[in-house]
A and B are shown apart, each in its own frame.
Chain A
Amino acid sequence: MLALVGTVPHRDFPLVDSEVSLHDDEVCIQGEQVTVNRGTPALLAATIKAGEFLGQPAPHGYLVGDIGLGDGSRRLYEYLIQHLGESDFQAITFHYMQPDIGCHNRVLFVMEQMSERPILIADAGSMYAAKMSGKAMAYDLFTPDIGELAFLADEEAPHPFYTRGFILHEENRVPELIARAYAHKNAPQNLLIKGEQDYVANQEGIQATINHPMDEAMEAIGGTGDTLTGIVSVLISTGMEIGEAATIAARANRLAGHYAEPTAATQVMEIVSHIPKALEDVFCEKNR
């Protein structure tokens, strides 16, 4: 069973802790709805669609409203500290949360005390918080884009906004960035790097490169990274090995995007609707 932790961009959205479902273009949880768009709602929608294809139970959501003030995130951090220890999720994905070292470390501590430690996946603000806290190695998977990989590689940068120029210039030198991130212990056991090409990597370097189909417009579309994180989270929660899950997810995300015939103005829900077919085709390819 998979849990997803994140925020929605509505200040008054209450803290909710429940199963998530998708109706048309709205994510529904505990009587509340939020339209699918970039951010944690896109992650949720992708997870649900991928999970439906794989016969998985609906994911569990821990969500709260936060428009960047951090108030919602801090309430959710506190809630997780109180309640996460009682759960038995196979995997937990941490997503759009206000980066806060103290709160992050307390949540991580709770999870590390659990008798069956879940697989830990982080993206977005949660990934920034993990790196900032010096605890990247406690995680099983991050899903950074190339700019965020440069941030992971810059041992000095507390946030991508402060990534040093000479490291950003190396954005085409992915192997060096990966190596630098691991050298400073700022990367988890596995990396799924999103970009013009997607890379699956670990401490030993790049394990797989996925680059087709290639639709340039995908980079401009808000939420395509969130859908990738959603797909890989579901695959991992089925028990699939992380490297394999990452490779399949990268290919499926590209295919789903491709089927949507994207332009730079495409919105992410159009891509989400193609996820089941994309997964079906990827698994068919594998079985041939």
Chain B
Amino acid sequence: MSVLGLFKRKQPKGSSPDQSRDRGILVFENTSEVIRAETALKKEGWKIRVMGPPPEVRSGCDLVIEIPLIEELSILRTLQAADVTPKDIVPVSSPLLRPVDLFQTKELGRYLMIRAANMKLTIDKRTLTIVNVSGGGCPDVPYLAQEMVGKPLADAPSPREIGHTLCGYALQLAYEEVKRQCSP
């Protein structure tokens, strides 16, 4: 059984950003899920911390897991393999933030481009082939592009399967929206 971490006091607004801005919180339904998640993540070598939730996070459970926020997608995959799904994932520094849920669609002749947050996915509408990936800044973006560009939408690996970061997660949202718009 893990040791309960100290309750983390929220930084006052306007103070200089602390080291926690690149950390996120996994919120679970109950303590046994927290324990299963903690075990799975530590087994994969993730640097995590079990702690009490900040006041903004309403949870049935009095434990949350602090994770490196950037690698959210990779962490979700580890949890999926362990058959445990968090109720929510939020940034430590601003627990009320939600992932971007706005999409921008642009028709470029025979091509369709969808933007989600900082990521853009472009397909050929006629062949439903992925022709381009642009945007982003995390190292999995060029890797995802390498694996996806030139492949039919139906055959390409999804960013959720092979991406690792929040940029990968944003590309997943764009990918899902492309699939939604292009499905019969």
> Residues of A with Cβ closer than 8 Å to B?
7-9, 37-41, 66-70, 72-73, 96-102, 123-129, 132-134, 145, 147-148, 151, 156-165, 168-169, 216-217, 219-225, 263-267
Contacts and interface: CB of A to CB of B under 8 A. Distances in A.
Contacts of A70: 68, 70-71, 139, 164
Contacts of A134: 16-17, 21
A165 B102 contact: yes
Nearest to B116: A161
Contact of A156 (B16, B94, B145): B94
Given A133-B17, A159-B69, 18 more contacts: A38-B133, A39-B139, A67-B140, A70-B68, A99-B22, A124-B136, A134-B16, A134-B21, A158-B22, A158-B91, A160-B166, A165-B101, A217-B108, A220-B131, A222-B142, A225-B135, A264-B111, A265-B122
Given A70-B70, A163-B117, A220 B111 contact: yes
Contact of B135 (A8, A40, A145, A156): A145
List of 9 A-B pairs having minimum Cβ-Cβ separation, nearest first:
A68-B140, A124-B137, A68-B164, A39-B142, A264-B111, A160-B118, A9-B143, A134-B17, A265-B131
Nearest to B149: A222
Interface residues of B, number: 55
A232 to B, nearest CB: 16
A68 B118 contact: no
Q: Is the interface of B mostly helix, strand, loop or mixed?
A: mixed
B132 A221 contact: yes
A162 B141 contact: no
A161 B118 contact: yes
B17 A161 contact: no
A165 B100 contact: yes
B109 interface: yes
A6 to B, nearest CB: 8
Interface in B123-167: 124, 131-146, 149, 163-167
Contact of B70 (A159, A163, A216, A219): A159
A148 B131 contact: no
B117 A160 contact: yes
B176 to A, nearest CB: 14
Pick from B19, B21, B68, B93 the residue with the most CB of A within 10 Å: B21
Contacts of A128: 137-138
B39 interface: no
Interface in B92-109: 93-94, 97-102, 106, 108-109
A68 B134 contact: no
Given A127-B137, A222-B134, A264-B109, A161 B120 contact: no
B169 interface: yes
B123 to A, nearest CB: 9
Interface in B72-120: 74, 91, 93-94, 97-102, 106, 108-109, 111, 113, 115, 117-118, 120
A263 B112 CA distance: 11
B145 A219 contact: no
A216 B164 CA distance: 30
Nearest to A98: B139
A100 B169 contact: no
A56 B34 CA distance: 56
A216 B74 contact: no
B88 to A, nearest CB: 13
Contact of B109 (A100, A263, A266): A263
Contacts of B170: 160-161
B53 interface: no
B109 A162 contact: no
B168 interface: yes
A37 B142 contact: yes
B108 A126 contact: no
B8 to A, nearest CB: 15
Contacts of A265: 111, 122, 124, 131-132
A263 B138 CA distance: 25
Contacts of A148: 118, 137
